[in-house]
Structure formats: structure tokens, C-alpha cells
Amino acid sequence: MPILGQNQYGKAENRVVKITRDGATHHIKDLNVSVSLSGDMDEVHYSGSNAHVLPTDTTKNTVYAFAKEHGIESAEQFGIHLARHFVTSQEPIKTARIRVEEYGWERIEHTREGAHSFVRTGQETRVTQITYDGSAWEVVSGLKDLTVMNSTDSEFWGYVKDKYTTLPEAYDRILATEVSGRWRFNWTDDTQPAPDWDASYAQVKKHLLQAFAETYSLSLQQTLYQMGSRIIEHRDEIDEVRFSLPNKHHFLVDLEPFGLKNDNEVYFAADRPYGLIEATVLRDGVEPRIPVDLSNL
């Protein structure tokens, strides 16, 4: 006899832009919020009874109402407000998962009065996932689409070779990747002070970028580990870091047919296929909990 397994429902990708007007100075928070709820939902699947179902349209409306009522201090804090509301206000709902993407804006300097003109920064997308089951929190934050490059100080040689290996060893190469990273906070209890979410994000990004820039890389794996290690060593509020790093290959172009020497100057940037390097870096004694596939987070 078939039985019902894991299930959840909600409203995905609610785009909300909150403008805070401080006189002539305005502030923007630009979010994409997805709500997923689970709990006592067997009957809606078995018989179609909606008695325990909060409409997904209501969850959408809640996102917009909370943007007004609570404001958006940070992606994490906004997700915490929403998750707590759904679990504590609806008895059949036992767990709420809130996923948020945040898009950055910066001010355009100009000579007119007021500070209300902005340009999308576009360097990366900030992300977070809040999960609450009525007693404990799990907050996993991160970023995606952060493209970085070292134009030197990277090598790749001494690897295994077989009859299918054609790749030449490289002793001075471009190392480029598009960082997708997640980090899990050790804050789980409402009775404890929560981290400063924005400050933590800024510091994590700083450390991962500094580690990327300062590591003389013999492999992308080595660079990944240094990025994760630096975060764990410098940020006490974080217990686990996971990175997914596609190797954005840059191949030297053969210019000899044109009588030209290519002295590590002209490259072809290949978009596919690409090497994909993934790993988790943990605080000693901590069990991993971030999913291997970051696209599901």
C-alpha cells in the first residue's frame, strides 16, 4: 500500500522591494522570498481536505505585509520573522523553511538634492535559508555568482596520467571561478543573542576573497580549503562552510601560425565543459548538515 512521504508546500519567489524613506535619503532592500511549510498535511493528500492548509496566496500576502510591519533589517532577520509566524500561528504547521535571495544596490553619486538614485551592484547574489520547527533554528547563509580570478600564482601539474590524458602541465596559469558558497551558523536558540547578520556576511565575504587572493594555488581544491578554513578560523558564529567552485578554464591561444609568440598574454575563455570542485570545511567536532547540492539550498 502506498504511504505519503516527505511533503511541503508554499509560495516560491515572492519578489519584494522595500524602500525606507529617511527624509531625502532612501534605503533599498530587494529580496526574492520563497516560503515552504510542512506538518500535519496527510489529509489534503489522501482526501483533498484543505482543513489544515494555509493558502499559498496567504503566505505571499504575509511576505509583503511583514515587509511593512517589521521592515527588512537583513535577509536573515526577515526570514526568522516569517518562519516564527507560520509555525506559531498555525497549529498544523510544524516546520517553516524560508529561502531568500538578496540583490544589492549602491547609490549613484550626483549633484541633485537627496540620496535616492541607485544602481544594481551585480557582483554577487546574497542568499539565506531559515528553518524553524518550533524549538530550534537553522540558519544557512551564503552567496552565488561571485566571479573571481587570479591572473598568475596558480599551477597544475603532477597529476595522474593515463592513455586518455592530453592536458599539458601548467606552471603559470589563470585561476578563475564563480563562487557558490554556503555557511551554517551555530545559533539555534532564541534565548541566545543572534549574530549581526549583515556584519557577519561582510566579514565572511572579505575572508573568502582574501584567502582566494593570498593563496599560491597548486590546485583549486587547495584554494577552496583555504577559503573555508579562513572563515572557520575567523568567524566564531559559523561551524560549517561548503563551496561549489566551477573551474573557469582559460586556455592559451596558439598564435604560432601567425608568427606570434603568446607569452601568457592571450587566452580563450571556455564556458563549458568545466571542472567542478566541491567540498565542505567544518569546525573540528561538528557534523556536516549543508546539502552536497547547493542548488537545493
User: Which residues belong to the active site?
Assistant: 11, 56, 249
From CA 226, how far away is CA 212, in angstroms rounded? 8
From CA 177, how far away is CA 170, in angstroms rounded? 17
Contact 266/210 with Cβ under 8 angstroms?
no
User: Long-range contacts for 15-19 (Cβ within 8 Å, ≥24 apart)?
Assistant: 16/63, 16/64, 16/67, 16/72, 18/67, 18/68, 18/71, 18/72
Q: Which of 19, 138, 132, 31 is nearest to 86 (CA)?
A: 132
Give the Cβ contact number of residue 69 at 10 Å: 9
Q: Which of 217, 192, 18 is nearest to 102 (CA)?
A: 18
Q: What is the DSSP letter of 272?
A: S
- Which residues are 125's β-sheet partners? 103, 144
CA dihedral over 61, 62, 67, 72, signed as positive or negative: negative
Torsion angle, alpha carbons of 223, 224, 226, 227, to 10? 120
From CA 113, how far away is CA 24, in angstroms rounded? 8
The x, y and z cell numbers of residue 44, run together, are 489534503
From CA 103, how far away is CA 222, in angstroms rounded? 30
